[in-house]
Amino acid sequence: MTAIVGYARTSTLEQVAGFEAQLRELTAAGCTKLYQEQVSSVAKRQQLEACLDYLRDGDTLIVTKLDRLARNVSHLGQLLAALKNKGVSLRILDLGLDTSTPTGELILNMMGAVAQFERQMMLERQREGIVKAKSEGRYKGRAPTAMRQALRAREMAAEGLRRSEIAVALGISERSVYRVLQGI
């Protein structure tokens, strides 16, 4: 018996509406099993790993958007290879893509390459803007994420939560939690 499995992810706990929308869309698409997590795409994604372990030959993995699944073209390629080796197809709802067809697989790879190119161009423009702002004395840099959440991190530590739990809940690294708690 084949399964239709959904995977939903948001980067932060504050993205409640987006997370709920993903779950609704995946359910409407016929997913009988859902894996869900609220974690950055660059962090360890335990639910994605569990999902990939669960999938079997003939199953379909559905995500609402490509960026919910893969962080870049290289990661996308790894995931597609792993799914293909298991005989699992991938559907991406917002793109209307299905990798069970050769055309769907080709288009997905091309779109991933275009998305990565766009990101690289955006980062290049950002770097140019920062250089210009620095030369004009207007660049302040971004506010440190962990320091903005220092009070909440200390409260959570006082409640007995471990550094790893605090990091996940606040969307910051364990090292940042350590620095906050040490007053560094």
- Using one digit for the tens of pLDDT, what is the confidence trace for 15-46? 778 889 999 999 999 999 999 998 877 778 89
Domain tally, the chain: 2
Q: What is the pLDDT of residue 11?
A: 81
Q: What is the pLDDT of residue 75?
A: 84
Q: What is the pLDDT confidence band of residue 52, given thresholds at 50, 70 and 90? A: very high
Q: How many whole angstroms separate alpha carbon 47 and alpha carbon 83?
A: 16
For residues 139-152, give the mean pLDDT: 78
- Which of 11, 40, 41, 173 is an active site residue? 11
6 contacts 29 by C-beta, under 8 angstroms: yes
For residues 148-162, give the mean pLDDT: 88
The reported pTM is 0.63
Q: What is the pLDDT of residue 184?
A: 62
Q: Is 11 a catalytic residue?
A: yes
Question: Which residues constitute the domain of residue 171?
Answer: 145-182
Torsion sign over Cα 27, 33, 39, 45: negative
Instruction: For residues 95 and 30, state if they share a domain.
Output: yes
**Domain with 17 in it: what CATH number?**
3.40.50.1390
Per-chain mean pLDDT for the chain:
88
Is 120 inside a domain boundary? no
Q: What is the pLDDT of residue 94?
A: 92
Is 136 inside a domain boundary? no
Instruction: For residues 100 and 173, state if they share a domain.
Output: no
Is 87 inside a domain boundary? yes
Instruction: For residues 85 and 158, state if they share a domain.
Output: no
More confident of the two residues 173 and 49? 49
23 contacts 51 by C-beta, under 8 angstroms: no
Instruction: For residues 176 and 101, state if they share a domain.
Output: no
Instruction: For residues 102 and 151, state if they share a domain.
Output: no
